[in-house]
Structure 1
Amino acid sequence: MFADTIRITAVKTLVVNAEMRNWIFVKVETDQDGLVGWGEASLNWKTRAVTGAVEDLEPLLLGKDPRDIEQILRTLNKHSYYRLGIIGATAVSGIEHALWDIFGKSVNLPVWRLIGGKVRDEVRVYTHLGLGDMKSVYETFDPSALRDKALQVVEMGYDALKVVFIPYSHYTVDIPSRRHVGRMMETLRDAVGEGVDIMIDFHGRPASVSAALQYIEELIPYRPMFCEEPVQPGDTEALRMVSERAGCPIASGERLVGFKEFEPLFQQKALNIIQPDLNHTGGILEGKRIAAAAEQAFMGVAPHNPNGPLAGAAALHFDISTPNFVIQEEMSGAVPWYDDVVSTPMRRVGSAWQVPYTPGLGVEINEKEAAKHPFKPEVMHTLGAVLADGTVVDW
């Protein structure tokens, strides 16, 4: 048993290079022997900025009771004075995960019990081509390679997968590009059959509503589960126009920070599925607020998560306790030594995570093993987002 009064004594970061991405683990220590919490604050190409943000926020946490999560979040957001943006919000998210981990451990309960309890018996998940290999995810534009990689995912037991094969685009779409997208989708559907759901991530590449709709027209005959981020985030009206005309569900939200950035989507009913990233949008508690508002706007929730294992654990507890949850993105086993560095509560049976009952988030970190994979600069995939005439476009 732990004392009635618990105080935070330190907040630290541990960076683990997972080959194509750095994982930023956040460790919150307390004055109780053995009571620490772990969270994740990974943000691609911003590793040093986020670890610096966590260090800057640490003085606001020292001496606080880690179970006063709402009060701590108000302190982190309001006493920073300037709005935190994606870097600061990611740092806060990782800290918040760790606070829930401590809370659960302190009362010997899994986090999902503390945030609403269980509303489902398993959590449906999907993954990407290459099972997390970033080159496969972002650089598969050949139909035969697409087919082979998709079949590998299905053979692993998944009944849903997501692909990124929309070309780097501008304001208009040429006929060959449209036809290529159609061929890719036809190949994919023929390979996996109708029993596997397919999601297409546009990555915000089209620079206009008309360009997005032209690509969607090619995909519709093959019944996508949803098309994701067909236009850049932030333009609610453009997203609403796509959703109204698409003929299939539209999803977005991974790059939005906090409830306030999601609110216009709910007010205009601008899409069908929201995709908050609990690693970036402020944490689990903010995610629950977003999900509740989405439910009132007749929207499902499919949390974004191409991040590391602790982000996955946080998403698992969120999904178990969220009524309008649809499906969860995941990248477990993204590197061969995954299980040497971290043990997680995610146990997959077929295409579903099972419900864990271990206290807290259920994560254990082997810091000695983690030290074998120190920080490295990540691969800059974005450098390829250039058209033939030299125009830099959205990645």
Structure 2
Amino acid sequence: MKITGIESIVVNAQMRNWVFVKVLTDQDGLYGWGEATLNWKTRAVTGAVEDLAPLLIGRDPRDIAQACRVMQKQSYYRLGIIGMTAISGIEHALWDIAGKALGVPVWRLLGGRVRDKVRLYTHLGLGDMSAVYETFDAGQLTERAQAVLEAGYDALKVVFIPYAGATASPAALRHVERLGRALRDAVGEDTEVMVDFHGRPATVSASLGFIRALEPLAPMFCEEPIQPGDTEGLVQIVAASRSPIATGERLVGVREFADLLQRRAAHILQPDLNHCGGLLEAQKIAAFAEVAQVGIAPHNPNGPLAGIAALHYAVATPNFVIQEAMPGSVPWYHDVVRQPVQREGGFWPVPDLPGFGVEVDEKEAAKHPFQQEVLHAQNALLEDGTVVDW
């Protein structure tokens, strides 16, 4: 069996352009689907897929580890988030081919089932991006949280940490505390709530101020309390925080996670399977994390193929905690994919079809061609006009 071609299909989903990757083989009707979505970097990623394709043409698609080594080591330059996202999408498709060729689901190839269902959470607005990133009012917050619960979820994530500089003002801290208390009162004690800081606090002290303000909420975890790359800062936050700390969505490859794990700088890691290098790399990250007694809660605000890949990974990952999913981000989310997995309350069932068990409807996908995504980052300003982290 040989790879004969690698294609990418862009599907505009407002906040993001989904990048679907299709790997073709010389076997009639045998091909694989993956996803390489990276917000605001669509053209760069599709270009990277084209650049990587010649390295794999003629190779056996079932030699997945070898394919990943070729793409990383024979690219010469170190691959950052764009290159590793392209590799991830291609790698997903190779797993899909391998599963289809053997007639088994991908999770079976990843070591087999370690759970009977996969727990999910979603965001305010059930994936609507304006609700996700622009809910700073207590009334809207509780109303949108109730809508998530009414949809059957028992876990949700919020993003209401204000844009911050080196310090957190008393007014900002009180407002975050009020939002946390209102949210907990609205959803009750049985609902898990995660708070995404989005790396907005510029210092450890500012971050810890917000973490302490959230203690009445008792979050499942506080995510990205500072910008990625500051391992020493995370060590200080973990030591001082009463809430679990999560991070990792912007890291790629097991090496970038290694320092965090060696320093015990997080309680939960969030590799994005679209960006970290794919499922094989994510398995290495999970194994390393298990040794360090760290949980895995993969990041995934992307499209339906990314969600399916994450589902198969979760089925086979012992230290998995919970999976992010945004199936309501556009009304036609499931139209572009045939045989989508159906959520059962706050869980996904274990799939049993060969490969990932899904197929892209290319005619439906073509109805949503590339467009410039909606940019929310233009609001990341302080009152005096200083540009800060989104």
TM tier relative to shorter chain: over 0.9
Tell me the C-alpha RMSD between the 2 structures: 0.7
Residue 216 in 1 paired to residue 211 in 2?
A: yes
Give the structure-1-normalised TM-score: 0.98
1:123 is matched with 118
Deviations 1:42-73 (A, max 9, x none): 00000000000000011001000000000000
1:165 is matched with 160
Residue 373 in 1 paired to residue 368 in 2?
A: yes
> Structure 1 residue 344: deviation in Å?
4.9
Q: Distance in 2 between matches of 1:249 and 1:340?
A: 37
Residue 94 in 1 paired to residue 80 in 2?
A: no
2:197 is matched with 202
Partner-residue secondary structure (3-state), 1:186: helix
Letter in 1 for 2:22: K
1:68 is matched with 63
2:105 is matched with 110
1:146 is matched with 141
Residue 174 in 1 paired to residue 169 in 2?
A: yes
1:308 is matched with 303
1:268 is matched with 263
Deviations 1:262-320 (A, max 9, x none): 00011111110000000000000000000000000010000000010111011000000
Give the structure-2-normalised TM-score: 0.99
Deviations 1:191-218 (A, max 9, x none): 1000100000000000000000000111
Identity %: 65
> Structure 1 residue 381: deviation in Å?
0.6
Which of the residues 71, 74, 78 maps onto 2:73?
78
The question of whether the paired residues in 1 share the 8 Å contact of 2:81 and 2:275 is answered with: yes
> Structure 1 residue 339: deviation in Å?
2.1
Q: Summarize the alignment of residues 347-366 of structure 1 with structure 2, pairs less than 5 Å apart.
A: 347-366=342-361
Letter in 2 for 1:35: L
5+ long unaligned stretches in structure 2: none
The question of whether the paired residues in 1 share the 8 Å contact of 2:36 and 2:275 is answered with: yes
> Structure 1 residue 347: deviation in Å?
2.2
Residue 237 in 1 paired to residue 232 in 2?
A: yes
Q: Distance in 2 between matches of 1:327 and 1:320?
A: 11
The question of whether the paired residues in 2 share the 8 Å contact of 1:316 and 1:346 is answered with: no
Q: Summarize the alignment of residues 263-302 of structure 1 with structure 2, pairs less than 5 Å apart.
A: 263-302=258-297
1:346 is matched with 341
The question of whether the paired residues in 1 share the 8 Å contact of 2:22 and 2:93 is answered with: yes
Q: Distance in 2 between matches of 1:161 and 1:317?
A: 21
Residue 334 in 1 paired to residue 329 in 2?
A: yes
Q: Distance in 1 between matches of 2:385 and 2:334?
A: 43
Q: Distance in 2 between matches of 1:344 and 1:77?
A: 33
Q: Distance in 2 between matches of 1:106 and 1:20?
A: 35
Change (3 A) 1:344 1:331: farther
Partner-residue secondary structure (3-state), 1:340: coil
Partner-residue secondary structure (3-state), 2:334: helix
Q: Distance in 1 between matches of 2:262 and 2:190?
A: 34
The question of whether the paired residues in 1 share the 8 Å contact of 2:247 and 2:270 is answered with: yes
The question of whether the paired residues in 2 share the 8 Å contact of 1:313 and 1:344 is answered with: no
Partner-residue secondary structure (3-state), 2:260: helix
Deviations 1:115-154 (A, max 9, x none): 1100000000000001111111001111100111000000
Letter in 2 for 1:239: L
The question of whether the paired residues in 1 share the 8 Å contact of 2:117 and 2:348 is answered with: yes
> Structure 1 residue 343: deviation in Å?
2.6
1:31 is matched with 26
2:180 is matched with 185
Letter in 2 for 1:126: Y
Q: Distance in 2 between matches of 1:224 and 1:162?
A: 9
Letter in 1 for 2:356: L
Q: Distance in 1 between matches of 2:77 and 2:375?
A: 29
> Structure 1 residue 345: deviation in Å?
4.5
Residue 8 in 1 paired to residue 3 in 2?
A: yes
Q: Distance in 2 between matches of 1:32 and 1:298?
A: 43
1:384 is matched with 379
2:129 is matched with 134
> Structure 1 residue 352: deviation in Å?
0.6
The question of whether the paired residues in 1 share the 8 Å contact of 2:194 and 2:223 is answered with: yes
Partner-residue secondary structure (3-state), 2:195: strand
Q: Distance in 2 between matches of 1:228 and 1:269?
A: 15
Aligned residue pairs: how many?
A: 390
Shifted more, 18-27 versus 108-117: the winner is 18-27
2:250 is matched with 255
1:321 is matched with 316
Q: Distance in 1 between matches of 2:29 and 2:114?
A: 31
The question of whether the paired residues in 1 share the 8 Å contact of 2:105 and 2:354 is answered with: yes
Shifted more, 61-70 versus 335-344: the winner is 335-344
The question of whether the paired residues in 1 share the 8 Å contact of 2:99 and 2:356 is answered with: yes
Q: Distance in 2 between matches of 1:124 and 1:144?
A: 27
Deviations 1:104-124 (A, max 9, x none): 000000000001100000000
Partner-residue secondary structure (3-state), 1:356: coil
Q: Distance in 2 between matches of 1:43 and 1:319?
A: 21
Q: Distance in 1 between matches of 2:232 and 2:341?
A: 38
The question of whether the paired residues in 1 share the 8 Å contact of 2:128 and 2:328 is answered with: no
5+ long unaligned stretches in structure 1: 1-5
The question of whether the paired residues in 1 share the 8 Å contact of 2:192 and 2:220 is answered with: yes
The question of whether the paired residues in 1 share the 8 Å contact of 2:183 and 2:217 is answered with: no
